[in-house]
Amino acid sequence: MKKLLVTGSSGLIGSEVVAGFSADGWEVHGVDNNMRADFFGPQGDTRSVGAIR
């Protein structure tokens, strides 16, 4: 099985990368620093969003 590390995995592009590669059978690991919470406040917080949809 191929493995992939995605930085920014909760962001717009990163989350799509995670979803796409996961659907293709890759083992995907994601990291994100949740900077959206700093920029957009509680409504931008991605801690409750799962890495894989």
Torsion angle defined by CA atoms of residues 34, 35, 39 and 40, in that order, rounded to the nearest 10 degrees:
-10
Per-residue pLDDT of the chain (53 residues; tens, 9 = 90+): 899 999 999 888 999 999 999 999 999 999 999 888 888 888 878 776 554 44
The pLDDT assigned to 18 comes to 95
Which pLDDT value is given to residue 52? 44
Q: What is the pLDDT of residue 44?
A: 77
**Contact (CB, 8 A) for 49 and 30:** no
Give the model's pLDDT for residue 50. Answer: 54
pTM for this model (two decimals): 0.74
Could you tell me if 45 and 6 are in contact, meaning their C-beta atoms sit under 8 angstroms apart?
no
- Coil, strand, or helix at residue 34? coil
